[in-house]
Amino acid sequence: MVAGLLLLPVGFMVVWFVVPLLQFFGNAFTSPRGAMEPFWTLLGTGVYRRIFWNTLVLSLAVTAAAVVIAYPVAYALSRATGSKFQVILYCVLFPLWVSVLVRTFSWILLLETNGPVNRLLMSAGAIDAPLRLLFNNTGVFIGMVHVLTPYAILPIYTSMSRIDDRLLQASDGLGASVFTTFRRIYLPLTMPGVAGGAAFVFLLSLGFFITPALLGGVNAISIAMLIEQFVNEQLDWVSAAAASILLLAAAVALLAASARFIRFGVMGVR
């Protein structure tokens, strides 16, 4: 009975996911210059290393920023009731329903030299000349934080909503100040959610394509853009596969490391 149910879905996954991935990865080892050669090239060449490094640093920065601004929103969401809750929730969910392409597109319009952000800053006297916010890491950073913050809010909110208020009351009753209760009781209890949100955002950032491509251009190439270049411009399937394997390995390593902190309560998988 179980087999009957799973036959079609598993078959589908194998045909359209497992096989294509394995086949594609297989390419990485078919270089005439040696099975592991592409990997050494990627990791050894300065150009590529800069791209990996850039993507890594950017992802870390985006993750940090996203988590920091997500935390207060998640907190407000966990404390809100009734219509306040609905409003905050919809504000968080609305961006998630909109395509990353649309969201990134809006930042192109906002961050351009004559765009509203620059005009606003100039008319407020904060700057004299327009800032270069597009086609560099700054633009990519802002765009990615915008896109990814909701993904951080939800896991943090979930862990916050599970905190038993009585723990906080106990801390208060034992004489702790609000700050101490926050630091010693609340914050640690939210850490699994924060770790989960951070891991998810970081994972997504590493593989991000659309936002760096549109907002960063040639000045801020991400690993994903590199892979795309290998495929579309250089027709270099070997390097594309090698880079993909490295990216996937980084993602899996990240998940494995953070799995200690996260409970995969979604499917009851522990």
Distance, in Å, from the CA atom of 108 to the CA atom of 112, rounded to the nearest integer, reads 6
Select the residue interacting with another protein from 113, 116, 132, 253 (CB under 8 A): 116
Report the nearest approach of another protein to the CB of residue 127 (Å).
Answer: 18
Span 65-104, contacts to another protein by CB under 8 A: 69-70, 72-73, 75-76, 79, 88-89, 91-95, 97-103
Query: In this chain, which stretch among 29-37, 41-49, 121-129, 249-257 interacts with another protein, using CB under 8 A?
Result: 249-257
Distance, in Å, from the CA atom of 248 to the CA atom of 24, rounded to the nearest integer, reads 13
174 binds another protein (CB under 8 A): no
Report the nearest approach of another protein to the CB of residue 205 (Å).
Answer: 10
Residue 156 contacts residue 194 (beta carbons within 8 Å): yes
188 binds another protein (CB under 8 A): no
**Residue type at 14 in one-letter notation:** V
106 binds another protein (CB under 8 A): yes
Select the residue interacting with another protein from 220, 239, 244, 262 (CB under 8 A): 244
Q: Please say which residue, 18 or 43, places its beta carbon nearer to another protein.
A: 18
Report the nearest approach of another protein to the CB of residue 51 (Å).
Answer: 13
Select the residue interacting with another protein from 122, 168, 189, 259 (CB under 8 A): 168
Q: Please say which residue, 99 or 123, places its beta carbon nearer to another protein.
A: 99
Report the nearest approach of another protein to the CB of residue 36 (Å).
Answer: 19
Q: Please say which residue, 129 or 269, places its beta carbon nearer to another protein.
A: 269
Residue 55 contacts residue 141 (beta carbons within 8 Å): no
Span 4-43, contacts to another protein by CB under 8 A: 5-6, 8-10, 12-13, 16-21, 23-25, 27
Report the nearest approach of another protein to the CB of residue 60 (Å).
Answer: 16
Span 137-166, contacts to another protein by CB under 8 A: 146, 149-150, 154-155, 157-158, 161, 165
Q: 3-state SS of the chain?
A: CHHHHHHHHHHHHHHHHHHHHHHHHHHHHCCCCCCCHHHHHHHHCHHHHHHHHHHHHHHHHHHHHHHHHHHHHHHHHHHCCHHHHHHHHHHHHHHHHCCHHHHHHHHHHHHCCCCHHHHHHHHCCCCCCCCCCCCCHHHHHHHHHHHHHHHHHHHHHHHHHCCCHHHHHHHHHCCCCHHHHHHHHHHHHHHHHHHHHHHHHHHHHHCCCHHHHHHCHHHCCCHHHHHHHHHHCCCCHHHHHHHHHHHHHHHHHHHHHHHCCCCCHHHCCC
228 binds another protein (CB under 8 A): yes
Residue 184 contacts residue 176 (beta carbons within 8 Å): yes
64 binds another protein (CB under 8 A): no
172 binds another protein (CB under 8 A): yes
Q: Please say which residue, 45 or 180, places its beta carbon nearer to another protein.
A: 180
